[in-house]
Amino acid sequence: MLQIKPILAALKRHKAGTLLIGLQIALTLAIVCNALFIIEQRVSNLSRSTGIDENNLLIVQSAWTNATGADIAPLVRADLQTLRQLPGVQDVAVSYGYPLKGGGWNSGVNIKPDAQHDIADSARFYADEHLLPVLGAKLIAGRNFRSDETRVTDSNALTSSAEVIVTKALADRLYPDGSVLGKPIYVGGGASPSTVIGVIDQMQGPFNGGGAADFSDGYVLLEPTLLTDKSNAYLIRTKPGQLAAVTKVVRDALFKANRMRIIEDGVGEDAGIRSFSEVRAQFYKSDRGLAWMMGVICVVLLGITAAGIVGLTSFWVGQRRKQIGVRRALGATQHDIIGYFLTENLLISMAGVLVGTVLALGLNLWLMKQFEMARIAPGYVMAGLVVLLLLGQGAALAPALRASRVPPVEATRSV
Q: What is the pLDDT at residue 222? A: 96
Convert 78-100 to b/e letters by CB count within 10 Å (16 or more is b): ebbebbeebebbebbbbbbbbbb
Q: What is the pLDDT at residue 161? A: 92
Q: What is the pLDDT at residue 248? A: 94
Q: Of 168, 167, 201, 163, whose CA–CA distance to 182 is shortest? A: 163
Going by C-beta distance under 8 Å and a sequence separation of 6 or more, which residues neighbour residue 3?
Answer: none
The Cα–Cα gap between 365 and 358 comes to 11
The Cα–Cα gap between 194 and 159 comes to 10
User: DSSP strand E in 171-311: where?
Assistant: 184-187, 194-200, 220-227, 233-238, 261-262, 273-275
Q: Of 90, 220, 204, whose CA–CA distance to 165 is shortest? A: 220
E strand or H helix that includes residue 214: helix 213-216
Q: What is the mean pLDDT of each run of 10 residues along the chain (415 residues)?
A: 66 78 92 91 85 95 83 92 96 95 89 87 94 95 94 88 94 90 91 94 80 59 92 94 95 94 79 92 90 93 92 84 82 85 88 93 90 85 91 90 82 57
E strand or H helix that includes residue 346: helix 334-371
The Cα–Cα gap between 256 and 265 comes to 17
* Helix, strand, coil content of the chain in percent (nearest 5): 55, 20, 30
Domain ranges of the chain: 4-46+286-412, 63-262
Convert 111-146 to b/e letters by CB count within 10 Å (16 or more is b): eeeeeeeebbbbbbbbbbbbbbebbebeeebbebbe
Going by C-beta distance under 8 Å and a sequence separation of 6 or more, which residues neighbour residue 248?
Answer: none
One-letter identity of residue 166: V
Q: Of 281, 280, 191, 273, whose CA–CA distance to 234 is shortest? A: 273
Pair 76, 150: CB distance under 8 Å: no
